């Protein structure tokens, strides 16, 4: 005889135990597995955040580096022979912590510069010259076809946070960071450009602002003294995306009226965060009045 006792309710275990019993239905493919997980979430055996991360893990194992990389044209790079005074403003403006260092062109990546190495120099007495070549870190190179789950494993074992993506001919196709991979699993990760909840516009200076793409155009007009129409689009992100004519990626920029809009964060569905700066007025010709 078995140990089952008719009339007694099944034991109440943890949500993981209940989910495990549910999964014992032996899903026959990935789609069936995801449907079982979603059914478990609907029955409150799994919370929505956990479901999203599990789906992200499954998706990462199917995706390749080319699906999420920052294209070559949008890479913020440092030239090997640039003076430190020319590099520093780019570091501050971009907000990145790592920069590919190139030689003659973008296909010649000679190493990686960490912003903290340069900032440490400028924070000191500044008497010794900064040597870019002496502060280069080795660059990791990976193919476009590499699976994201394998890339994440490599990042963890090598402790690298950035890799240069190369195409089948050995040319540089773009770059990818560990943050790009992790965001596919856990969703958007906050960084130094983040705006506190409830705020839409963060002022850094009179010439630098971070603006959430969901900011209503009416609110943007009020804050910046602009007169963008909100008849066709409700948000500044919609207006900017329309100006591009396609869904822009991080680093791309467009000028509307008197302001330049640079995409700080976007995914494959919409723009999330913008860097807004005024466009300098053209200088008047000498001898010409107002």
For residue 32, give the 3-state DSSP assignment. helix
Q: Are 265 and 282 in contact (CB under 8 A)?
A: no
Question: What domains sit in the chain, N to C, each tagged with a CATH number?
Answer: 19-60 (no CATH), 66-186 (3.10.580.10), 201-278 (3.30.465.10)
pLDDT tens-digit profile of 167-193? 988 899 999 999 888 877 776 655 545
Average pLDDT, the chain: 80
Strands 259-266 and 271-278: antiparallel
Q: What is the pTM of this model?
A: 0.56
* pLDDT at residue 41 in the model: 79
User: How many whole angstroms separate alpha carbon 47 and alpha carbon 32?
Assistant: 19
pLDDT tens-digit profile of 45-79? 877 777 777 877 877 777 888 888 888 877 889 99
* Average pLDDT of span 215-234: 93
**Residue 225 confidence (pLDDT) above 80:** yes
Strand locations in 73-123 (E): 78-79, 98-102, 109-114
pLDDT tens-digit profile of 100-124? 999 888 889 999 999 888 877 777 6
User: How many whole angstroms separate alpha carbon 246 and alpha carbon 263?
Assistant: 13
Q: Are 200 and 67 in contact (CB under 8 A)?
A: no
User: How many whole angstroms separate alpha carbon 251 and alpha carbon 275?
Assistant: 10
């Amino acid at each position: 005889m078995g140990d089952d006792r008719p009339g007694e309710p099944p034991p109440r275990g943890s949500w993981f135990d209940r989910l495990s019993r549910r999964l014992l239905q032996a899903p026959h493919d990935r789609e069936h597995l995801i449907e079982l997980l979603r059914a478990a979430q609907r029955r409150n055996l799994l919370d929505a955040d956990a479901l999203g991360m599990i789906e992200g893990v499954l998706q990462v194992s199917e995706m390749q580096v080319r699906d999420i990389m920052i294209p070559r044209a949008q890479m913020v790079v440092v030239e090997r022979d640039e003076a430190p005074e020319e590099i520093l403003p780019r570091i501050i403006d971009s907000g990145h912590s790592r920069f590919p260092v190139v030689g003659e062109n973008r296909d010649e990546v000679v190493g990686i510069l960490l912003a903290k190495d340069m900032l440490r120099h400028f924070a000191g007495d500044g008497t010794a010259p900064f040597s870019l070549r002496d502060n280069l870190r080795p660059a990791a190179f990976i193919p476009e076809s590499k699976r994201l789950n394998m890339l994440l494993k490599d990042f963890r074992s090598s402790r690298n946070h950035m890799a240069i993506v190369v195409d089948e001919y050995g040319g540089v196709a773009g770059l990818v960071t560990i943050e790009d991979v992790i965001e596919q699993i856990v969703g958007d990760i906050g960084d130094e450009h983040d705006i506190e909840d409830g705020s839409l516009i963060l002022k850094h200076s009179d010439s630098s602002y971070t603006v959430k793409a969901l900011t209503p155009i009416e609110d943007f007009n009020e804050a910046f003294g602009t007169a963008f129409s909100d008849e066709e689009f409700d948000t500044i992100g919609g207006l900017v995306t329309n100006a591009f004519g396609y869904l822009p990626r991080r680093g791309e920029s467009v000028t509307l009226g008197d302001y330049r809009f640079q995409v700080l964060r976007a995914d494959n569905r919409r723009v999330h965060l913008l860097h807004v700066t005024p466009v300098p007025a053209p200088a008047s010709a000498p001898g010409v009045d107002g």
